[in-house]
Amino acid sequence: MKFNSIQTAILLTLFPATATFAGGLDRSGQSISAFLQPGNYAEAGISVLDPSVEGTDLLGNQVDDMAEDYYFPSAAIKVQASDKISLGLLYDQPYGADAQYSKNSLMFGDQIEGTRVEVKTQNITALIGYQPHKNWNFYAGPVYQTVEADIKLRGLAYGGKAALGTYNIKVEEEAAFGWIAGFAYQVPEIALKAAMTYRSEIKHDADSHETASPLITLPPSMGGGIVTVPFSLAGKTEAITPQSVNLDLQTGIAQNTLAFANIRWVHWDNFVVTPPLLAQLSQQARGKAQNLIDYSDDQWSATVGLGHKFNSQWSGTAAIGYDSGAGNPVTTLGPTEGYWSVGLGGQYSPAENYFIQAGVKYFWLGDATAQTGGNQVAEFEDNTAFGYGMKIGYRF
């Protein structure tokens, strides 16, 4: 069961390029597979996720689909500078959230606007690899990451007008640095490869602007009555994107066929984002500071599958996936707990040095209880999602 260099190069690219609906804010999975390709290699891809997430609030009202479609691009280039040194540059959008609740929801809207969540991150990873032997590769490098967010909280779930009124927070784009390190072992003749990659946590201390307009009861000395009081606070909001470990495995199991697996751990346990004005007003109104985002468990995920090269131009994959989520109850930003998935991918190679790849995944999203400030506000059950992806790769 031998694999020549071209067969190996084709098979090593067969991981399905489809979007992820993972625990916490995890999106891309932070793969470095492009850097582990043989020779000089470049790729660009795009993934799209189309989720449907509905539920029932604690008042028994239907919560319409609140999950927005989203897409994220990726790109990578790897250069084999010498027999022992390789260089790489990878771009992805590892974390994020997109949610839009109906303005007519009593729990998540105020008849004018619904709760709206948009969180974006971008990563640029630079890698240098050292190959002391053809079977080993040790690599490390810096990671440049940006984070920004625009969030509006509305409705009874967040204390209503008595607690926050209309609460908004705008987190300006902020950059910070982390690092990555790992090693890989391979036997190209049989398409055997094992790689373990660690990414550090990255601490962000971003400029933020919060506004709120709760109802305040005036004391008799001030004439009594209930008035709306606007609050505004410009300051800093701290967020630490979590450390993670990826374990990638693959091996040839028959002529032109390989088995592959990815196992991922993300340290979401005790992840908390608590803007100061939100904490202050919710403490005064409800006796407990409310977090904007929090997770209670680490995320574990796994994907296993098979790849097969049918001929010199066509290859395909089939895979199943599991994600544990990051604890339940969950934040209202993404009220699901993990998933099960099945995926199919196909690849067309018009020539030996380039290919076009596409894939699709179907997700069964885990049931979850949504909470705010420690109070359960809704149940989300029997939800699903479709993921689509396309990638172009070129060897030079």
**pLDDT higher than 50, residue 111:** yes
Rounded Cα distance between 345 and 373, Å, is 41
Rounded Cα distance between 249 and 15, Å, is 11
Segment 269-275 mean pLDDT:
88
Q: Which range (209-223, 230-244, 252-266) has the least confidence?
A: 209-223
230 Cβ contact list (under 8 Å, min separation 6):
211, 212, 213
Q: What CATH number does domain 5-104+120-136+179-205+240-395 carry, 3.60.15.10, 2.40.160.60, 2.10.50.10, 1.10.760.10? A: 2.40.160.60
Whether the model pTM is above 0.95: no
Report the SS3 class of residue 81.
coil
Kindly indicate the confidence band of residue 275, based on its pLDDT and cuts at 50, 70 and 90.
very high
Q: Which range (47-56, 80-89, 267-276, 357-366) has the least confidence?
A: 267-276
pLDDT tens-digit readout, 286-312: 777 888 888 989 999 999 999 999 998
Per-domain boundaries in the chain: 5-104+120-136+179-205+240-395
- Which of 249, 313, 363 is CA-nearest to residue 15? 249
Rounded Cα distance between 197 and 174, Å, is 25
Report the SS3 class of residue 10.
helix
Top-confidence range, 17-26, 203-212, 252-261, 325-334:
203-212
Kindly indicate the confidence band of residue 17, based on its pLDDT and cuts at 50, 70 and 90.
low
pLDDT tens-digit readout, 165-174: 899 999 999 9
Kindly indicate the confidence band of residue 226, based on its pLDDT and cuts at 50, 70 and 90.
confident
pLDDT tens-digit readout, 122-162: 999 999 999 999 899 999 999 999 999 999 999 999 888 87
Burial code (b: 16+ CB inside 10 Å, e: under 16) for 41-71 equals bbbebbbebbbebbbebeeeeebeebbbebe
Residue-level pLDDT at 11: 46
Residue-level pLDDT at 10: 44
Q: Which range (158-162, 207-211, 316-320) has the least confidence?
A: 158-162
Residue-level pLDDT at 18: 56
**pLDDT higher than 60, residue 3:** no
Cβ(302)–Cβ(342) below 8 Å: no
Burial code (b: 16+ CB inside 10 Å, e: under 16) for 384-394 equals bbbbbbebebe
Report the SS3 class of residue 24.
coil
Mean pLDDT, the chain, as a whole number?
A: 90
pLDDT tens-digit readout, 37-67: 999 999 999 999 999 999 999 999 999 999 9
For 193, the token pair is 């490869």
Rounded Cα distance between 163 and 212, Å, is 9
Residue-level pLDDT at 6: 42
Whether the CA torsion 274, 277, 283, 286 is positive or negative: it is negative
Residue-level pLDDT at 116: 95
Rounded Cα distance between 135 and 274, Å, is 47
**pLDDT higher than 70, residue 195:** yes
For 385, the token pair is 């999602």
Cα→Cα distances 36→12, 33, 266, 321, Å: 9, 5, 22, 22
Burial code (b: 16+ CB inside 10 Å, e: under 16) for 245-284 equals ebebebebeeebebebebebbbbbeebebbbebbbbbbee
Residue-level pLDDT at 21: 65
